[in-house]
Amino acid sequence: MNRPQFLAINTLALALSALMLAHFFVARSAGRLSGEMTANQSKFNEARLAQSRLNEARQLETILDQLAKRIAHGSETDPRLRTILSKHGMQVTLEINGEKKQYP
C-alpha cells in the first residue's frame, strides 16, 4: 500500500467516524425530543378531556335548572317535591301569575 492509498483510507475512516458520532448525537437528540413530544401530547389530551367535561357540565347545568323549576312548580300540589328541593339545598324562584315565589 503506497502513501496516497494510506491517506485515502485514513481520511475515509476519519470521515466515517465523524458520521458515526454525528449519528449518535442526532439519535440521542431525537429520542429526547420524542419524549418531550409525548409529554406535551399527554398534556394536550388532558386539557381536551377537561374541556369536554366542562362542556358536558354546562349542558347538565341547564337541564338541572329546568328540572328544579319543574319540581318547584309541582311542589304546589305535592309537598314531597318540596322536600326533595330542601333535601338537596336547591333554591328556586318562579314567577307565577306575575308574582315571584321562592321555593326552598
| Span 32-87, pLDDT tens digits | 999 999 999 999 999 999 999 999 999 999 998 898 889 888 888 888 888 888 88
Report, as an integer, the average pLDDT of 12-41. 95
Residue 94: what pLDDT? Answer: 85
In 3-state terms, what secondary structure has residue 93?
strand
Site of grid cell 330542601: 86
| Residues 6 or more apart whose Cβ sits within 8 Å of residue 68 | 85, 90, 92
